């Protein structure tokens, strides 16, 4: 007897879950420093264009494959293209999210540690010179980052063990609205700070002279990374979507939610960065290195407000990290339960154990294993670049080629329009089909070429 697959209960649940997969550290941790490095508002405009013209069609491709097959990434290729080499795409998109989860959970662990520091008022009570060096001391230590990494992974596993409806759906339906409320509160606080107007201007006044080939590639890469494409997370979630769900509506809803949250994250961080007199191009350490210093500096006048904002901010980061991490783990769990017949508990523990071991190596690469080099990169940086620059775009390109060139136009249209019952989807299908076949693949290849040349 075949076990009935779980489904998300409603369109709101679908959008919350998929937006939860998309909204994560890519929005709060990565987006603000990318904006800082690539010229502010000009980058944001490119990011928005890339999200809707190039990246959203890839989102639709993964969704169509997932819902039509109603299977994990490997099973989807086996069902839709039996006996072909496309099965390797299924395997690629099982391995990729588990690798990402391994180093992503290290950064998630940083958010656990920083929330603990905020709750114990370290950011307001510690001298400024010690605050500035905290991040470096913490990540280069041996045991404390590993403990934080372990705590974060345990939280992810706990949610996954509860299943699709009671775990993923329930968690995202509760946390996503809270996440938006928290980031709005932090944004209001940030833009009200003395000197914050320069940060607001930086985000809304574009300088198009800063646009270059690397800026365009970075904008598309960020949109790609932010929407969790190319690694099977959207495909896996789509396999739990009911047949009467509107793919266009859920896709646009997810993209808009992701964009809105990313821009709010930019407004919650950049005005505070300018108010504190810190350079906006501070890089990946912008959140974890500079914001504790900002909270400390602002806490001189009204300590309790600064402490409260610090707590809210790192709660936001932690929740965002969790919503993305559970989608990564679910890809591997779905494969092991459906293809290998494992129980959900066994599959979850297996994926957790692998991510935990690899994550420890990534964590130690900032300290005891800092001398270990893989093609000129630390273990953490090597895995990050492997996934962000190569595996994610490769997966996205192959998903797009599969839907645009392997599947029949009739099957794709049938899935996108719910058998022709959705009139708006039917009218837009020609445009989506064109973007899937020609525009999106060219855009992804352009990112590959840019990554090779720069």
48-63 pLDDT tens trace: 998 888 889 999 999 9
Cβ 231 vs Cβ 392: under 8 Å: yes
List the chain residues with pLDDT less than 70. Answer: 1-6, 9-10, 128-129, 132, 279-286, 290, 297-303, 454
**What pTM was computed for the model?**
0.88
Q: What's the pLDDT score for residue 452? A: 72
97-148 pLDDT tens trace: 999 999 999 999 999 999 999 898 887 777 766 776 788 889 999 999 999 9
Nearest to 163 by CA among 8, 352, 14: 8
Sole residue written with tokens 């080939």: 213
Q: What's the pLDDT score for residue 438? A: 94
Tell me the CATH number of domain 11-453, given options 3.30.460.20, 1.10.10.60, 1.10.4160.10, 3.40.50.300: 1.10.4160.10
Measured distance CA(108)–CA(156) in Å, rounded? 10
In our burial notation (b when 16+ CB lie closer than 10 A, e otherwise), range 404-429 reads bebbeeeebbebbbbeeebeebeeeb
Q: What's the pLDDT score for residue 285? A: 64
CA-CA-CA-CA torsion sign (403, 418, 233, 88): negative
Q: Where are the domains of the chain?
A: 11-453
What is the CA angle 387-389-393, rounded to 5? 85
Q: What's the pLDDT score for residue 62? A: 95
């Amino acid at each position: 007897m075949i076990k009935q697959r779980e489904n998300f209960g409603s369109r709101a649940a679908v959008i919350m879950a998929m937006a939860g997969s998309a909204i994560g550290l890519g929005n709060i941790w990565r987006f603000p420093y990318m904006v800082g490095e690539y010229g502010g508002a000009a980058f944001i405009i490119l990011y928005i264009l890339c999200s809707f013209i190039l990246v959203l069609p890839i989102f639709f491709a993964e969704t169509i494959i997932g819902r039509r097959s109603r299977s994990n990434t490997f099973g989807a290729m086996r069902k839709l293209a039996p006996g072909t080499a496309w099965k390797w795409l299924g395997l690629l998109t099982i391995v990729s999210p588990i690798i990402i989860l391994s180093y992503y959970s290290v950064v998630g662990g940083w958010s656990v540690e920083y929330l603990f520091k905020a709750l114990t008022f370290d950011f307001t009570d510690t001298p400024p010179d010690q605050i500035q060096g905290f991040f470096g001391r913490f990540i280069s230590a041996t045991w404390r980052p590993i403990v934080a990494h372990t705590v974060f992974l345990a939280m992810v596993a706990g949610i996954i063990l509860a299943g699709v409806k009671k775990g993923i759906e329930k968690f995202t339906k509760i946390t996503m609205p809270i996440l938006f409320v928290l980031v709005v509160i932090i944004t209001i606080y940030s833009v009200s700070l003395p000197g914050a107007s320069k940060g607001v201007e930086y985000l809304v006044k574009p300088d198009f002279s800063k646009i270059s080939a690397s800026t365009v590639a970075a904008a598309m890469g960020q949109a790609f990374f932010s929407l969790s494409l190319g690694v099977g997370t959207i495909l896996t979630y789509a396999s739990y979507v009911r047949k009467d769900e509107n793919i266009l509506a859920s896709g646009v809803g997810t993209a808009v939610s992701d964009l809105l949250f990313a821009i709010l994250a930019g407004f919650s961080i950049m005005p505070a960065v300018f108010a504190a007199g810190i350079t906006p191009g501070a890089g990946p350490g912008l959140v974890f290195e500079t914001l504790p210093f900002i909270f400390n500096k602002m806490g001189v006048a009204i300590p309790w407000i600064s402490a409260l904002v610090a707590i809210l901010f790192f709660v936001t980061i932690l929740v965002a990290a969790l919503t993305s991490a559970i989608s990564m783990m679910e890809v591997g769990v779905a494969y092991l339960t459906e293809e290998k017949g494992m129980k959900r508990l066994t599959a979850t523990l297996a994926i957790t154990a692998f991510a935990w071991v690899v994550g420890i190596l990534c964590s130690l690469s900032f300290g005891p294993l800092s001398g270990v080099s893989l093609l000129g990169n630390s273990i953490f940086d090597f895995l990050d670049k492997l996934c962000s620059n190569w595996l994610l775009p490769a997966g996205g390109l192959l998903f797009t080629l599969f839907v645009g060139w392997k599947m029949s136009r009739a099957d794709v249209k049938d899935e996108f329009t719910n058998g022709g019952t959705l009139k708006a989807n039917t009218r837009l299908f020609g445009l989506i089909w064109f973007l899937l076949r020609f525009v999106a693949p060219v855009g992804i290849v352009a990112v590959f070429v840019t990554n090779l040349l720069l």
